């Protein structure tokens, strides 16, 4: 089982790689788009600004190969934090025209990424810390054997609003209800950091790996 962690120059990939290694999975740190072909599944991490990261994916050839591998070859993908947000159709973070739809994302899960303040959150931004999640579907495979109301670690200022509510598989509360995890067939995303979420996070990564093998 080969899992590609996309290294497009943003974020700390070490904690994701170490988490996979603890699960006896050898990660492939991929810094060339073509090398995604070597993997059975994909993890897209991300830290920073939506617009900047979306432009890197597009300009450096990542977007094309990711869409090819996920849409045509049906490889499972897990987006983490900003990586989850990049699965959306559009994001407003860093967009020069805040009246527009924003900057184009991968569009693997239709929806938009919007600032928590604009969504009505009156608590301190960014949202940093441990929050319990509420599963929308207790049978969701990526949360297999993870108890309901388990805490996961969040760091974010923007939230993903899917167009199709059926794509929401978990939520959390931080002044408002926030989408914590999404799924569209073999495409998953978590707003929280599983690699920083202790045993529950490791279990989620293990579940993703097991799903990928099937």
**Three-state secondary structure call for residue 110:** coil
Catalytic residue among 93, 136, 195, 206: 195
Strand order across the 26-30 sheet: 26-30, 2-6, 41-44, 77-80, 187-190, 176-184, 168-174, 127-135, 151-156
**Three-state secondary structure call for residue 136:** coil
Cβ(105)–Cβ(66) under 8 Å? no
Catalytic residue among 81, 93, 136, 167: 81
Q: Is 195 a catalytic residue?
A: yes
Burial class (CB in 10 A: 0-12, 13-18, 19+), 65: buried
Q: Is 193 a catalytic residue?
A: yes
Spatial CA neighbour of 161 closest among 101, 107, 88, 102: 88
Catalytic residue among 53, 93, 193, 206: 193
Cis bond before residue 126 (omega within 30° of 0): yes
Catalytic site residues? 81, 193, 195
């Amino acid at each position: 089982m080969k899992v590609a962690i996309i290294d497009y120059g943003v974020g700390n990939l070490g904690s994701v790689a170490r988490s996979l290694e603890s699960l006896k999975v050898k990660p492939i740190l991929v810094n060339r788009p073509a090398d995604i072909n070597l993997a059975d599944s994909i993890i897209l991490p991300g830290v920073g600004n939506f617009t900047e990261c979306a432009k890197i994916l597009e300009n450096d050839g990542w977007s094309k190969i990711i869409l090819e591998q996920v849409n045509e070859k049906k490889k499972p993908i897990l987006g983490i934090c900003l990586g989850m947000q990049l699965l959306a159709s559009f994001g407003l973070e860093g967009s020069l025209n805040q009246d527009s739809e924003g900057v184009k994302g991968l569009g693997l899960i239709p929806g938009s990424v919007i600032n928590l303040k604009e969504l009505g959150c009156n608590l301190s931004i960014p949202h940093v810390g441990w929050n319990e999640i509420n599963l929308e579907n207790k049978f969701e495979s990526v949360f297999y054997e993870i108890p309901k109301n388990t805490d996961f670690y969040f760091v974010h200022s923007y939230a993903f609003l899917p167009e199709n509510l059926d794509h929401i598989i978990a939520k959390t509360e931080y002044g408002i209800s926030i989408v914590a995890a999404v799924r569209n067939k073999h495409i998953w995303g978590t707003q929280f950091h599983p690699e920083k979420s202790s045993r529950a996070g490791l279990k989620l990564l293990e579940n993703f790996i097991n799903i990928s093998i099937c």
